[in-house]
Amino acid sequence: MVKVNPHYAEVSENYMFLDVVKRARAFTEKNPGVKILKLAIGNTTEPLVPSVVAAMHASVDKLAARESYTGYGDEQGNTDLRQAVATWYGARGVTLDASEVFISDGAKPDCANIVSIFSDESIVAIQDPVYPVYRDANTIGGRRIVYMAATEANGFVPALPSEHADIIFLCSPNNPTGAVMTREQLQAFVDYALANKSVIIFDAAYSEYIRDANIPRSIYEIPRAVECAIEIQSFSKAAGFTGVRLGWTIVPQALATEDAAAGALNKYWHRRQSTMFNGASNIAQEGGLAALSPQGQKETHEQVDYYMENARVIREGLTKAGFTVFGGESAPYIWLKCPAGLSSWQFFDQILEKAHVVTTPGSGFGGNGEGYMRVSAFGHREDIEEAVRSIAANLKAV
Ligand code: MLT
């Protein structure tokens, strides 16, 4: 008799953001005509930048002609794009080879799938609160999880795992708290990984939001990180590709484990991707290549600045209204403390019912997120301003 994977019983019925959408939809059904402002899921709202649009149009034209049509691309991603990614790292002082770059259809699937190159027995450390993908994917995979607390007391940057961990997920700038890890804090994790023969999976999807020049934008800015870390990146938040789908994963040739010599893990990930993934859309890859060009970088940085101005409006507006907020200085997420001891879902309901704003309850990201809300800076400026005004006018901060 076939049996289902029993670990599905260990995760909540819905992916967390779906619960938020359902509650918002129920409110709209009860209150037709009331406009709600969505500051929940980190979904980009501004159009693709001109150089990306031009490159994607040209890519469609290429596909439209027999002479220039292409089918499947290189299995690891287009060579030009992989080289452009390596050059992009080079500009920030990190030397990587194009053979270490794997183009993906976004960071989320790679965050979930990368652990497949490691033993199922691996103990996985994740922070609490955490981007739910690391937690749910590893729970469904039946792996043992060790939690690293990220609380107000430690500035939402977790201490090293308190018990042995084989794989450590880190995300800086952090989703959901908006905290960033300093060079010293990252160095401590790299030292731990080298000493314990562990591997760090570094999710750098929000690196372009860093405003403090002293904060590393890649784990590979830390000496010897290439020996113990995989980095996952995304065009979603940096270039508005949330619906286009494109990202990359770096599996360094120098990465080694106790039972795998340097180069072996790169080969395993290549084997996994060429077997179970057929490459990102060639139109998206042409767009990604344009996004990494000097002009594309200029245009996408302006777009990131726009969202960071939204973050400032939220942070300063809510602070002025008397709320306690964290994050949002080098990240597009603001971590708002619920007033008066309200739980995350209680405050979620109040913000929705009184201010008509949808946010994300911190408890959905883990036990330590209880009592907090995540407010996303992705939105049209006028909606962000209206949402902040509405929260300030309609909700008590104490
Ligand atoms: C979020 O809101 O946490 C992100 O948009 C989710 C994602 O990037 O997958």
* Nearest atom (ligand 1) to Cα of 175: 3
pTM: 0.97
368 pLDDT above the threshold of 90: yes
φ/ψ (deg, to 5) at 334? -110, 135
What is the assigned CATH class of domain 50-293? alpha beta
| Confidence band of 198 (pLDDT split at 50, 70, 90) | very high
359 close to ligand 1 (CB < 6 Angstrom): no
Average the pLDDT over 196-208 and give the result. Answer: 98
Residue of the nearest CA to atom 1 in ligand 1? 42
* DSSP track, 294-359: HHHHHHHHHHHHHHHHHHHHHHHHHHHTT--EEE-SSSSEEEEEPGGG--HHHHHHHIIIII-EE-
Average the pLDDT over 109-130 and give the result. Answer: 97
* From 15, 110, 175, mutation site for ligand 1 pocket: most ligand atoms within 8 A of C-beta: 175
pLDDT value of position 178: 98
Q: What is the pLDDT of residues 137-156, one digit of tens each?
A: 999 999 999 999 999 999 99
Q: Where are the beta strands (DSSP E) in the chain?
A: 37-38, 101-104, 123-128, 144-149, 167-171, 199-203, 229-234, 247-250, 325-327, 333-337, 357-358, 360-361, 372-376
Q: Which CATH superfamily is domain 6-48+296-394 in?
A: Aspartate Aminotransferase, domain 1 (3.90.1150.10)
Closest by CA position to 130, among listed 154, 153, 156: 156
64 pLDDT above the threshold of 90: yes
Closest by CA position to 48, among listed 288, 313, 293: 288
Would you kindly state where each structural domain of the chain is located, as residue ranges?
A: 6-48+296-394, 50-293
Q: What is the pLDDT of residues 259-318, one digit of tens each?
A: 999 999 999 999 999 999 999 999 999 999 999 999 999 999 999 999 999 999 999 999
pLDDT value of position 288: 98
Q: Distance, CA 43 to ligand 1 centroid (Å)? A: 7
Encoding tokens for residue 33? Answer: 């005509």
CB 234 within 8 A of CB 107: yes
| Confidence band of 95 (pLDDT split at 50, 70, 90) | very high
Closest by CA position to 92, among listed 286, 249, 297, 330: 297
Instruction: Give the chain's mean pLDDT.
Output: 97
Q: What is the pLDDT of residues 121-136, one digit of tens each?
A: 999 999 999 999 999 9
Q: Distance, CA 107 to ligand 1 centroid (Å)? A: 10
38 pLDDT above the threshold of 90: yes
Q: Please list, in sequence order, all residues whose beta carbon lies within 8 angstroms of the beta carbon of residue 9, skipping any fewer than 6 positions away.
A: none
Q: What is the pLDDT of residues 8-26, one digit of tens each?
A: 999 998 888 899 999 999 9
* Nearest atom (ligand 1) to Cα of 17: 2
398 pLDDT above the threshold of 90: no
* From 105, 131, 171, mutation site for ligand 1 pocket: most ligand atoms within 8 A of C-beta: 131
Q: Distance, CA 221 to ligand 1 centroid (Å)? A: 25
Average the pLDDT over 89-117 and give the result. Answer: 97
Residue of the nearest CA to atom 6 in ligand 1? 42
How far CA 340 is from CA of 85, 184, 349, 351, 383, in Å, comes to 47, 35, 14, 14, 26
Closest by CA position to 231, among listed 205, 265, 193, 257: 205
395 pLDDT above the threshold of 90: yes
